[in-house]
Structure 1
Amino acid sequence: MYKCVKLTSKNLKYFRELNNKRYLFNPVNEDFFKTYDRYNFAKQLILRRRVKLIKKDLHYIGYIWSDISHNKMCTINAMNVLCNCIAPDNSPYKYLINTIKEPCTIKYICQNNNYNFNLLKSIGFKKGEGTLTLYKNLLENIPLIFDKKLQFKIFEKGKDEQKRCEIQNEIFKTDTRVPLTLEDIYFDEAQDYYFEKGAIFLKQNDEYIGYGQIVMENDIPVIVNFGILKEFRGKKYGKALLIYLLKIMYCSGFNRVIIKVKSSNYIALQLYTNMGFRIESEKYNWTLDKKSFHK
């Protein structure tokens, strides 16, 4: 029999053990105690109210940590049940979901580990937009660039901030995106992750047509802010810029690179896979309408 209980000071030690195993269901489950341990007693008490534990017989086997906003949106920060990952039982997860009493839309970010996606589907979650993390071995062959009309220019601090601001805003312009400002550029330059020789403009006949950048995450180069102006797309200029960035990283002594792409960006995904990138991880937004959720 399953039973859901509140998190209290008495069962906190059992929850610490469950929290330490949060990655078993979802590698991006948030660490509760990273927040909890720096709070004062009053804030800790409030935070504990957002957690429900599930017991089977006398043993604590799982939990859910969630937050509900004023617009009837509930975010699951972390959720995990210790179980057989080969053939997991979704019933304890249903018990945990049912501790959310308010009619709301539940959101959960989950990284695929070969069984959690199927379990979420079986509960009634719907998969939405996702982010794919791809990697490439730089020791593999990198092709040459043959288009002599193209030029590559390294971003110069104190000179090119306005141009970078303009071209990035044009490349990534959408109705929902907040435009980049010069302050954002200066802030970027001051960060530890900034890789000076990895900020590159692409030009054709002296006209700026694209931009790509390399930043460092845990000593691994990551390609970011990569794109071509709309009117120049479909002409393999993106491939040329990508090859140039790969050459920079290879010549800098790196043997591995990462890039992240929206799951709906099929054109970019095709470019990266054609260039030898492979999927390393998949992270998707999942939603569940609590009003239509069946116990």
Structure 2
Amino acid sequence: MKVEDIEQICLIEEESFTTPWTAGAFYNELVNNHFARYMVMEYNGEVAGYAGMWLIMDEAHVTNIAVREKFRGFKLGQRLVVELKKTAGYLGASRMTLEVRESNEIARNLYRKLGFEASGVRKGYYSDNNEDAIIMWAELGSFPQASTEGADGSE
């Protein structure tokens, strides 16, 4: 993610969240937060989705993941989570954590599919409606890898 992407990121934030991050918050993450790592997924020059995390010691904390409304349903969110995990592992993290709304079954199912397990609850975490957040953790490398079986003639 680059500073130039912030305008498009904010459009995705507005489509995705009841309390979206501001342009200033993203600018601060990109320019001042040395723990922050953000990525975008583009289609024909347009930001289709983005994801971010903080890397602290050997842990990665997912800050946000969102896909533009018109690009939803193509498993782009899954690809973003997989790329976050790969990047975090490459940068030395051994575990990853995130919070997800208790009511967001679609996201919770995706995270479970990618190796995250619920480990606790943050009561009243979301300020817009006081909803609880489910805390989830994954050991990096525990998510399903694409099969390479037979790619080189071996099994």
C-alpha distance in structure 1 between counterparts of 2:34 and 2:88, whole Å = 14
C-alpha distance in structure 1 between counterparts of 2:58 and 2:33, whole Å = 11
Identity score, percent: 27
Aligned 1:12-23 pairs, distance under 5 A: none
> TM-score, normalised on structure 2?
0.68
Aligned 1:1-295 pairs, distance under 5 A: 155-157=1-3, 159-172=4-17, 174=18, 177=19, 179-192=20-33, 194-195=35-36, 198-217=37-56, 220-285=59-124
Instruction: Kindly provide the CA deviation profile for residues 250-289 of structure 1, in whole angstroms up to 9, marking residues without a partner as x.
Output: 111211111110110000000000111111212334xxxx
Instruction: Kindly provide the CA deviation profile for residues 227-258 of structure 1, in whole angstroms up to 9, marking residues without a partner as x.
Output: 11223222211111111111101111211111
Note the aligned Cα RMSD (angstroms). 2.2
C-alpha distance in structure 1 between counterparts of 2:69 and 2:83, whole Å = 20
Instruction: Kindly provide the CA deviation profile for residues 50-90 of structure 1, in whole angstroms up to 9, marking residues without a partner as x.
Output: xxxxxxxxxxxxxxxxxxxxxxxxxxxxxxxxxxxxxxxxx
Give the number of the structure whose residues are more often strand, by fraction.
1
Q: How many positions carry a matched residue from both structures?
A: 124
Give the aligned residue type for 1:156. K
Asked if the contact 1:222–1:259 (Cα under 8 Å) also holds between the matched residues in 2, the reply is yes
Instruction: Kindly provide the CA deviation profile for residues 22-61 of structure 1, in whole angstroms up to 9, marking residues without a partner as x.
Output: xxxxxxxxxxxxxxxxxxxxxxxxxxxxxxxxxxxxxxxx
C-alpha distance in structure 1 between counterparts of 2:6 and 2:46, whole Å = 16
Asked if the contact 2:51–2:66 (Cα under 8 Å) also holds between the matched residues in 1, the reply is yes
Structure of greater relative contact order (alpha carbons < 8 Å, 6+ residues apart)? 1
Structure 2 portions without partners, runs of 5+? 125-155
Q: Secondary structure at the match of 1:249?
A: helix
Structure 1 portions without partners, runs of 5+? 1-154, 286-295
Give the aligned residue type for 1:164. I
Query: Structure 1 residues 235, 160: CA separation in 2 closer, same or farther (over 3 Å shift)?
Result: closer
Give the aligned residue type for 1:277. F
Give the structure 2 partner of residue 79 of structure 1.
Answer: none
C-alpha distance in structure 2 between counterparts of 1:163 and 1:230, whole Å = 12
Structure number with bigger Rg: 1
Asked if the contact 2:67–2:76 (Cα under 8 Å) also holds between the matched residues in 1, the reply is yes
Is 239-248 or 275-284 further displaced after alignment?
275-284
Give the aligned residue type for 1:201. V
Asked if the contact 2:66–2:77 (Cα under 8 Å) also holds between the matched residues in 1, the reply is yes
> TM-score, normalised on structure 1?
0.38
Q: Secondary structure at the match of 1:260?
A: strand
Asked if the contact 2:62–2:96 (Cα under 8 Å) also holds between the matched residues in 1, the reply is yes
C-alpha distance in structure 2 between counterparts of 1:217 and 1:254, whole Å = 8
Give the aligned residue type for 2:97. I
